Amino acid sequence: MNQTKTNPLLLSLKTVASKLDVSVRTVVRMHKDKKIRLYRLGGKLFAKDAELKEDLEKILEPLPSE
């Protein structure tokens, strides 16, 4: 279980929001809408990197080609 700084196991809300180019509030809303999974650790919320990728694959919709 050797995680480096470039590939952390847990992502903070700020990091998730930055990766998705949305606000922290939107990340929390996505969790409340059961679109992404979040976890509480020491009073802070985090997402698991691998699970976030899975969750995004489920909710992303490709645009139809013209």
Residue 4 has pLDDT above 60, yes or no: no
Q: Which domain holds residue 46?
A: 10-59
Whether 2 is covered by a domain: the verdict is no
Tens-digit pLDDT profile for residues 6-48: 668 999 999 999 999 999 999 999 999 999 999 999 999 999 9
Q: Give the start-end residues of each E strand in the chain.
A: 10-12, 39-41, 44-48
pLDDT at 6: 67
What pLDDT digit, counting tens, does each position of 40-62 carry? 999 999 999 999 999 999 999 98
Q: In this structure, is residue 66 part of a structural domain?
A: no
Instruction: Report pLDDT for 8.
Output: 82
**Overall domain count for the chain:** 1
Torsion of CA 41, 47, 50, 55, to 10 degrees: 140
Residue 33 lies in a domain: yes
The answer to whether residue 2 scores a pLDDT higher than 90 is no
